[in-house]
Amino acid sequence: MRRSIATVSLSGTLPEKLEAIAAARFDGVEIFEPDLTGFPGRPRDIRDMAADLGLTIELFQPFRNAEGVDRAGFDRVLRRLDRKLDLMEELGAPLMLVCSNVEPYAINDDGLAAEQLWAMAERAGARGLRLGYEALAWGTHVSTFDHAWRIVERADHPHLGLILDSFHTLALPHDWSGIADLPGERIFFVQLADAPRLDMATLMLSRHHRCLPGQGERDVGAFTDAVLRAGYTGPLSLEIFNDSLRSAPTRQTAKDAMRSLLHVEERARRLEEARRADAASHRPAPRRVELFDPPAPARLDGVAFVEFAVNHATQAALAADLLRLGFHRLGRHRSKDVDLYGMGDIRFVLNAEAHSTAHSYYLLHGASVCAIAYEVDDPLRAVGRAEAFGCHRFEGRVGPNELSLPGIRTVGGELVYFTRRRADGSIDFETDFRLETGDALPTPTAHRIDHIAQVLPEGALDSAVLFHRTVLDMEPEPVVTLADPFGLVRSRAISDHRRRVRFPLNIASGRNTGAARSVSTYLGAGVHHIALETADLFAAAERLRANGVEILAIPANYYDDLAARFDLDDDLLATMARLNILYDRQGDGEFFQLYTQPFQGRFFFELVERRGGYDQYGAANAPIRMAASSQPGTFDTLVG
């Protein structure tokens, strides 16, 4: 499949965009007219630049308000067209996108529109150029792909075809199953974009909130599959109008865009394969194009360990906190200044090794999580898949007889490792530690990691969603907005389908929320809190209290409100208030949670107990937590 992107999708000048697009290994590009108009050179300079970069100029766009106009108006359209055809010749663009008329004066007459598009195609055809007609979802009379197709079919000109855009098709509540029955050779071009489900005018959604496929909530994979079933063999081209991409780093966006397109191809391939497997009822047409075929996702069994970058002082302080939480020191690394702590299935690695990646991370971000390791069935396949999606492999320094953990480096510099459980139940990475198998360990206060919440800089959420979706095969939930006393926090949870690994990802939209301050103070994304699951939160809370763990104090008002909202036993409420336990309910499911005070103002721990299939994160309580932690003397007590 040829892979293309519209220049409007990226920030920067036109040459910067082309370079980033080529560096991300796209085959082709759509030139969005304003990018060219603002370029201080000749169109042929862009043609040469694209050629030097190995990029095909696939399309020039858009040509607006051309059809359904009166006679005088159409004369002007043709004059305008001739100039743009001159430009296309100089640019070396073989195809121009003509979008449906959005003016109130447009005449509602398919016969007229077909006639006028025919006349335009005749002029383009005389120069060996082609036109593609695209229905904008807000077109005055033509807003759906099938209406645009009826007009193209009626015009019946070999130089006029249909352009499909997943945004316009999926934005309207309109049946698009007919796409698969279109004649593929009459589809001249296909544009792809995703979008969130926001209740707003389609024009606003399209111009400001489109996102890369895989970042939003539309099934762009199924759309692409339908287009391929129709027999389309041209490029798949991303066309993303998005406010935050307009100011995001160009090369990073282009890399994400390629990852997104690969994601779409993989999904389309899966759908086709499922149809083939069901060939008794269907007879799928033979595939005409090659689609991206990465190694299948590894089976994600959970978080194997979380690694903290520390120095000696913070290592000792964090270790003391962990012991109070019920952790034990399990061992020391064979060759490095690294300790392993654990309880139940939870493993924390405290890395104070000098001249290491963790140390660099510590210098930049302070005591913080610098790596997460996943337990998977096949670590090498997991890394292979990540590399296929454009991730960079990380090779750490390995001592004698130590394991080289397969890993990748993320954009923020955190590492992601993959490790696997052996037949004897031990987990791979632990062989690098001299385990101190002492006395039998007492019952743990918590037994597994429930979720890891992260804060991300503004604009980084979509990219993080795409990373987890492609590399780790996780699925996002819709965005929820939470109120911090100093601003709003947008949160999107992402998890694997078995709920073994869950990440609420948070973005502060203001500058003053706890999340925003944590991003600015510590330069970038990071783990904000780690929730540990316990079978009995009340027992655990008593134990933490006895051990002197500082718990986030919850106001009495909260418990009054709980009493009003839920039919809870008075004694239970009183105990919850005494232990600072928060509560949520979902159907028959119940959720109990408490928070520790932050470690050096940096990150904190949460303990949760889930009952009866509760599947959320207590989002209703997050504003209470954020308010409680903005009280003086809590989140702001920063130490070294």
Ligand X SMILES: O=C(O)c1ccc(O)c(O)c1
Contacts with ligand X, residue ranges (CB under 6 A)? 61-62, 97, 99, 134, 136, 165, 191, 206-207, 239
User: Residue 134 CB, nearest distance to Mg ion (Å)?
Assistant: 5
Q: Does 534 help bind Mg ion (rule: CB under 5 A)?
A: no
Q: Looking at beta carbons only, is 63 or 374 nearer to ligand X? A: 63
Binding site partner of 346, from ligand X, Mg ion, none, Cβ cut-off 5-8 A by kind: none
Q: Say how far apart CA 293 and CA 278 lie, in whole Å.
A: 20
Q: Does 7 help bind Mg ion (rule: CB under 5 A)?
A: no
Q: Does 166 help bind Mg ion (rule: CB under 5 A)?
A: no
User: Residue 135 CB, nearest distance to ligand X (Å)?
Assistant: 9
Give the contact letters, 91-130, x = binds to Mg ion (CB under 5 A), - = no.
Answer: ----------------------------------------
Q: E-strand spans in 317-431?
A: 328-333, 338-343, 346-351, 368-376, 392-394, 407-409, 415-419
Q: Is 134 assigned a ligand-binding role in the annotation?
A: yes
Q: Looking at beta carbons only, is 165 or 194 nearer to ligand X? A: 165
Q: Does 375 help bind Mg ion (rule: CB under 5 A)?
A: no
Binding site partner of 532, from ligand X, Mg ion, none, Cβ cut-off 5-8 A by kind: none
For residues 455 and 507, is the Cβ–Cβ distance under 8 A?
yes
Q: Does 30 help bind Mg ion (rule: CB under 5 A)?
A: no
Q: Say how far apart CA 466 and CA 410 lie, in whole Å.
A: 12
Structure tokens at 74: 């159409």
Please name which of 357, 366, 9, 513 lies closest in space to residue 215, comparing C-alpha atoms: 9
Q: Looking at beta carbons only, is 264 or 527 nearer to ligand X? A: 264
On the 0-12 / 13-18 / 19+ scale of CB atoms within 10 A, 546 is exposed
User: Residue 145 CB, nearest distance to ligand X (Å)?
Assistant: 12
Q: Is 339 assigned a ligand-binding role in the annotation?
A: no
For residues 84 and 60, is the Cβ–Cβ distance under 8 A?
yes
Q: Is 165 assigned a ligand-binding role in the annotation?
A: yes
Q: Is 191 assigned a ligand-binding role in the annotation?
A: yes
The full DSSP string for 166-229 is HHHHHHSS---GGGGGS-GGGEEEEEE-B-----S-HHHHHHHB-B-TTTSSS-HHHHHHHHHH
Q: Looking at beta carbons only, is 59 or 343 nearer to ligand X? A: 59
Three-state secondary structure call for residue 494: strand
For residues 230 and 181, is the Cβ–Cβ distance under 8 A?
yes
Binding site partner of 136, from Mg ion, ligand X, none, Cβ cut-off 5-8 A by kind: ligand X
Q: Write phi, then psi, for 56 (nearest 5 degrees).
A: -90, 130
Please name which of 161, 69, 80 lies closest in space to residue 115, comparing C-alpha atoms: 69
**Cα separations (Å) of 369 from 205, 310, 404, 562?**
36, 9, 20, 34
User: Residue 210 CB, nearest distance to Mg ion (Å)?
Assistant: 9
For residues 611 and 472, is the Cβ–Cβ distance under 8 A?
no
User: Residue 115 CB, nearest distance to Mg ion (Å)?
Assistant: 24
Q: Say how far apart CA 131 and CA 126 lie, in whole Å.
A: 12
Q: Does 9 help bind Mg ion (rule: CB under 5 A)?
A: no
Q: Is 239 assigned a ligand-binding role in the annotation?
A: yes
Q: Looking at beta carbons only, is 9 or 191 nearer to ligand X? A: 191
Binding site partner of 135, from ligand X, Mg ion, none, Cβ cut-off 5-8 A by kind: none
User: Residue 30 CB, nearest distance to ligand X (Å)?
Assistant: 8
User: Residue 36 CB, nearest distance to Mg ion (Å)?
Assistant: 17
Residue showing the smallest CB distance to ligand X in the complex: 62
Helix (H) or strand (E) holding 492: strand 487-495
Residue from the set 65, 143, 166, 191 that interacts with Mg ion by CB under 5 A: 191
Helix (H) or strand (E) holding 507: strand 502-508
User: Residue 110 CB, nearest distance to Mg ion (Å)?
Assistant: 21
Structure tokens at 319: 């270790």
**Cα separations (Å) of 307 from 27, 237, 525?**
39, 39, 15
Q: Does 165 help bind Mg ion (rule: CB under 5 A)?
A: yes
Which residues 233-272 are close enough to bind Mg ion by CB under 5 A?
A: 239
Q: Does 337 help bind Mg ion (rule: CB under 5 A)?
A: no
Q: Total residues contacting Mg ion (rule CB under 5 A)?
A: 3
Q: Does 194 help bind Mg ion (rule: CB under 5 A)?
A: no
Q: Write phi, then psi, for 376 (nearest 5 degrees).
A: -135, 165
User: Residue 240 CB, nearest distance to ligand X (Å)?
Assistant: 10
Binding site listing for a divalent metal cation: 134, 165, 191, 239
Query: What is the binding site for Mg ion (CB under 5 A)?
Result: 165, 191, 239
Binding residues are: 134, 165, 191, 239, 451, 529, 606
